[in-house]
Structure 1
Amino acid sequence: MTLLIETPRDIPPVDEVMRDEKLEDALQTHGHAMVLRAVRNTLADVREALLMKSDATTTSAHYCCMNDLVRKVIVQLELWSKPLIQYVINATGAILHSNLGRAPLAASAAEAAYNAGRRYTTLEYNLEEGARGERTAAVEVLLKRLTAVESALAVNNNAAAVLLILATLARGREVVVSRGELVEIGGSFRIPEIMEESGATLREVGTTNKTHPDDYLRAIGDKTAAILKVNRSNFRMEGFTEEVALDTLATIAHQNGLPLIYDLGSGCLSRTLHDRIFEEPFVPDATASGADIICFSGDKLLGGPQSGIIVGRRCYIEAMRRHPLLRAFRCDKMTLAALETTLFLYLNPSRAHKEIPLLAMALADEDVLEKRVSSFINALNEADVPASMYSESSIIGCGSAPGCKLATPVVAIDPTLAPNPSTPDELLRELRTGEPLVIARAGNDRALFDLRTVFPEEEDALLQRLLRILA
């Protein structure tokens, strides 16, 4: 006979629950301490529920037995064991989604990171000399080939790159920068605040909308260490505006014996992608325009892992290599392995366009997308789920090419007319639970699914998830 737990006095002691044979597998999987914590939490929850009973009419709602307790313990353990960082299907149409991990890696880059993480590597070992090697040597070689520069360095993100550059070249001195380029990046971090942490003093010139060559010339003095240009990659300025061209700025800097630093931001290494989203600078063009030091992100338009890349003149980068901050900002072995593999793909542009997800998605043929969407819609309609094709726009995302809209056909579902009806918001909320997790968006009273950012091999899983909910 199963004893019902009707009052706090009926709650079994912790050790009795721990001895229940149905928890043997849980103890093997999760360990004694974690199971003990789950048991204590469960008993505390049951005790609180029983104490909250206000009258006899609600008593039956709080009945439970030992089997119920054990089930609650197991559910609690499963919840605690589920990773908070989980795989999702991105159907939003934002190729670089800040909240979903930015650029997905090429399969070969992910494999390189995996192998580097689980085995020993030649991270800092020179095979030819049998001695200690340079940590970022492999990445440097590829960056020099791809950008035609003297030297290169990789750190853990572009903000770190900016900080390292300024701390090395301008600590205690002034850096001249246009007011119109003092931008705020993600997470409320502002470029001026990051720069001030370097110990450099910002000398702002010009106005928000207009900066002229004379503004820079008047600001240069004995305390000036460098001129800085920041690419406004996360917003556009239109109308009554003017800025100094990069080559003109390089001439001003060099005539005054100063280095020109260019915080390029997103870091496009594909000429084809640059031609499509012309707002973003092409890195080799920037190096050819006379900038002495250029820095950009590895996980934006490059399509690699999170990293900050610095390219430019050897004398400046060698000074950075000796700076104590480099140790704090250096990349780990998995990041460098993934970055090296990603850069290697760029040596063959046609291969890069196929294998690097960012490039494959951004350069996807609209006719091919339309066929994928049509096939997906037909499968939904066959199950009486009302779906149609809408003309929408995908975006690059992560503050890259904010004015670039990629014309995209999307799957538009009216869930209110489905066999199992719901509102668009309810459907999207349900898709954010269960497996696979799906992140999409709503618009025009429909749930919208942009297949540009859905990998082809994910389409069936997305379709089956929608059918389970709606059909």
Structure 2
Amino acid sequence: MTHPSENLLRALPKIDECLLLLEGHTPPGAPRQLILKAIRTAIEQERRVILSGGSSSAVSSEEWQERFLSRLAEMTAPRLRRVFNASGVVIHTNLGRSVLSSAACNMLHLAGGYYSNLEFDLHTGQRGSRYDLVEDILCDLTGAESAIIVNNNAAAVLIALDTLAGGREVIVSRGQLVEIGGSFRIPDIMARSGARLVEVGATNRTHLFDYEDAVTPETSLLLRVHTSNFRVIGFTSEVSVEEMVSLGAKHDVLTMEDLGSGSLVDFSRYGLPREPTVQEIVKAGVDVVTFSGDKLLGGPQAGIIVGRRKIIDRIKKNPLNRALRIDKFTLAALESVLREYYDIEQALQKIPTLRMLTQSPQQVEERCVRLLSLLDTALQRDFSIKSVFSRVGGGAMPEHSIDSRALYYNGEVTIQSLETGLRKMAVPIIGRVENGHFVLDMRTVQEREIPELAQELNQFLSSTDGEIRG
């Protein structure tokens, strides 16, 4: 006697039958290779269901067609997708960190769509250096003598240590041996660079004499690492940058500071915690300073190195520079963002990261009101405006919460259904769960996004509420 599953397996369609079934229904220009892959994937999935005993009847032609088209849509859709960030985390590592300004996005279009003078000196007609495009701007803004940019701050630390301390000793306080996202640890990157780590002091207290006692003829560098992603509080002590520079000069040893989320703005003027600026560290006399371009700076992913010209020239000549250098897209976006900093007040308005970090709760509440007004009347009662706290993100200012405003969902759709459903929208909506409610923190939603966000909320909630209430 034939087992039912054998009949179901025999009923699985042939590839040529499936192609005929899809004629006239696939999107124009859909690659045949992906159409075939969609067909095979759907059939194989049904085969596994049958073999596991999960299917008791044959699939109709209409359902097969729907399955094939669904798989094809998934395969042809971009993997990197735009999302609505309503999480309230401004520099969201998992959602692409800093949003670029309109000017920077325009420059990306020009850099990608046309040829450029990436490494061509328009004055001499000879080969040029890509770093010349932004080096003088960085020097203007930071007060440094020279600058170089690599692909992220981990790379900046790596190439600086490899150049300045390969095979020699680097003295670091134990309280600054940090780990950041992606398991990037200072001791590990130092080992990879060939430098020899010398730990001094205790986790909570390090004194100047700890550094001085550790200096030997093998010491190449005194390294300070800004603990931007955590704080040690209570009975603490650390050596100031000025003391470190003086000690380095006394022993003819170079000094370096890894600022991590480097900033060109004194955020304490806008109600945020005091963070050392790049300008201050350079002015204090540190030989080389490294920091990120895509965190508090508000630009593209990049590792920026500024400092004394003779030091930066050595880093530029390091063979690692070829492997770590940035491309034309990063340069185009970075130049555009840096130019905004010539006028700080303008930068606060035009660079999205700075704007989000410094906006008042009242400005955020106005966006809540606008979004609420664009929701269907029947849905407006499902939301209320509440005071919440946003986060800076990106490992910066870890203790600080920013007074913000959000829409709390009070309707009948469960939190899990709402979170999952919104994440699967055409433009996924990413919120957060707080106090038993699904929350849309409007600090990280841009003004221009509100109409489309309202449209998606209306679409999802109207259909879902209807199912629940029906």
Q: Which bin holds the TM-score, normalised by the shorter protein?
A: over 0.9
Q: Distance in 2 between matches of 1:359 and 1:273?
A: 13
Matched residue, 1:8:
9
CA contact (8 A) 1:268 1:274 kept: no
Q: Structure 1 residues 239 and 63, CA, compared in 2 at 3 Å: closer, same or farther?
A: same
Q: Distance in 2 between matches of 1:341 and 1:457?
A: 21
CA contact (8 A) 2:264 2:297 kept: yes
- Give the Å deviation of 1:469: 2.9
Q: Distance in 2 between matches of 1:226 and 1:53?
A: 67
Q: Structure 1 residues 373 and 13, CA, compared in 2 at 3 Å: closer, same or farther?
A: closer
Matched residue, 2:466:
none
Tell me which moved more, 267-276 or 244-253: 267-276
CA contact (8 A) 1:414 1:424 kept: no
Q: Structure 2 residue aligned with 1:424, among 415, 430, 449?
A: 415
Is the counterpart of residue 191 in structure 1 residue 186 in structure 2?
Answer: yes
Residue 396 of structure 1: SS of its match in structure 2? strand
Q: Structure 1 residues 411 and 160, CA, compared in 2 at 3 Å: closer, same or farther?
A: same
CA contact (8 A) 1:163 1:198 kept: yes
CA contact (8 A) 1:436 1:461 kept: no
Paired residues for 1:13-32 under 5 Å: 13-18=14-19, 20=20, 22-23=22-23, 26=26, 29-32=29-32
Matched residue, 2:389:
393
CA contact (8 A) 1:164 1:326 kept: yes
Q: Distance in 1 between matches of 2:398 and 2:48?
A: 52
Structure 1 counterpart of 2:441, which letter?
Answer: D
Paired residues for 1:2-401 under 5 Å: 7-18=8-19, 20=20, 22-23=22-23, 26=26, 29-53=29-53, 59=56, 62-272=57-267, 276-377=271-372, 380=375, 382-384=377-379, 385-401=381-397
CA contact (8 A) 2:21 2:65 kept: no
Matched residue, 2:3:
none
Residue 409 of structure 1: SS of its match in structure 2? strand
Structure 1 counterpart of 2:259, which letter?
Answer: L
Is the counterpart of residue 452 in structure 1 residue 443 in structure 2?
Answer: yes
Tell me which moved more, 460-469 or 116-125: 460-469
Q: Distance in 1 between matches of 2:139 and 2:356?
A: 27
Tell me which moved more, 30-39 or 431-440: 30-39
CA contact (8 A) 2:145 2:307 kept: yes
Paired residues for 1:400-415 under 5 Å: 400-415=396-411
Residue 108 of structure 1: SS of its match in structure 2? helix
Matched residue, 2:467:
none
Matched residue, 1:469:
460
Structure 2 counterpart of 1:38, which letter?
Answer: A
CA contact (8 A) 1:274 1:280 kept: no
Q: Structure 1 residues 235 and 31, CA, compared in 2 at 3 Å: closer, same or farther?
A: same
Tell me which moved more, 234-243 or 69-78: 69-78
Q: Distance in 2 between matches of 1:21 and 1:356?
A: 51
Residue 463 of structure 1: SS of its match in structure 2? helix
Count of residue pairs brought into register by the alignment: 456
| RMSD (CA atoms) | 2.0
Structure 1 counterpart of 2:42, which letter?
Answer: T
CA contact (8 A) 1:380 1:386 kept: no
Residue 401 of structure 1: SS of its match in structure 2? strand
- Give the Å deviation of 1:223: 0.3
CA contact (8 A) 2:34 2:75 kept: no
CA contact (8 A) 2:409 2:439 kept: yes
Q: Distance in 1 between matches of 2:103 and 2:162?
A: 35
Q: Distance in 2 between matches of 1:411 and 1:245?
A: 43
Residue 172 of structure 1: SS of its match in structure 2? coil
Q: Structure 1 residues 274 and 234, CA, compared in 2 at 3 Å: closer, same or farther?
A: farther
CA contact (8 A) 1:274 1:282 kept: no
The one-character-per-residue Cα deviations of 1:257-282 (angstroms, maximum 9, x if unpaired) are 11110001111112356653333211
Tell me which moved more, 265-274 or 245-254: 265-274
Q: TM-score, normalised by structure 1?
A: 0.92
Structure 2 counterpart of 1:307, which letter?
Answer: A
- Give the Å deviation of 1:249: 0.7
The one-character-per-residue Cα deviations of 1:22-53 (angstroms, maximum 9, x if unpaired) are 33564862323222222222333334444555
Residue 404 of structure 1: SS of its match in structure 2? strand
CA contact (8 A) 2:267 2:274 kept: no
Matched residue, 2:468:
none
Residue 353 of structure 1: SS of its match in structure 2? helix
- Give the Å deviation of 1:63: 2.7
Q: Distance in 1 between matches of 2:40 and 2:232?
A: 58
Q: Distance in 2 between matches of 1:108 and 1:85?
A: 22
Q: Distance in 2 between matches of 1:48 and 1:428?
A: 29
Q: Distance in 1 between matches of 2:283 and 2:362?
A: 36
Q: Structure 1 residues 162 and 50, CA, compared in 2 at 3 Å: closer, same or farther?
A: closer
Flag as ranges the 4+ runs of structure 1 deviating above 6 A.
none
Residue 238 of structure 1: SS of its match in structure 2? coil
The one-character-per-residue Cα deviations of 1:351-398 (angstroms, maximum 9, x if unpaired) are 211110001111112222222223434555832432222221111101
- Aligned-residue sequence identity (percent) comes to 39
The one-character-per-residue Cα deviations of 1:273-297 (angstroms, maximum 9, x if unpaired) are 6653333211111111111100000
Q: Distance in 2 between matches of 1:306 and 1:63?
A: 51
Q: Distance in 2 between matches of 1:164 and 1:240?
A: 34
CA contact (8 A) 2:170 2:220 kept: yes
The one-character-per-residue Cα deviations of 1:134-189 (angstroms, maximum 9, x if unpaired) are 11111101100001110000000000000000100100100011000000010122
Q: Structure 1 residues 371 and 222, CA, compared in 2 at 3 Å: closer, same or farther?
A: same
The one-character-per-residue Cα deviations of 1:376-434 (angstroms, maximum 9, x if unpaired) are 3455583243222222111110110112221112211212xxxxx21223212211011
Matched residue, 1:418:
none
What runs of 5+ residues in structure 2 fail to find an aligned partner? Answer: 1-5, 463-470
The one-character-per-residue Cα deviations of 1:422-453 (angstroms, maximum 9, x if unpaired) are 12232122110112211001111211111110
Q: Structure 1 residues 468 and 223, CA, compared in 2 at 3 Å: closer, same or farther?
A: same
Tell me which moved more, 217-226 or 117-126: 117-126
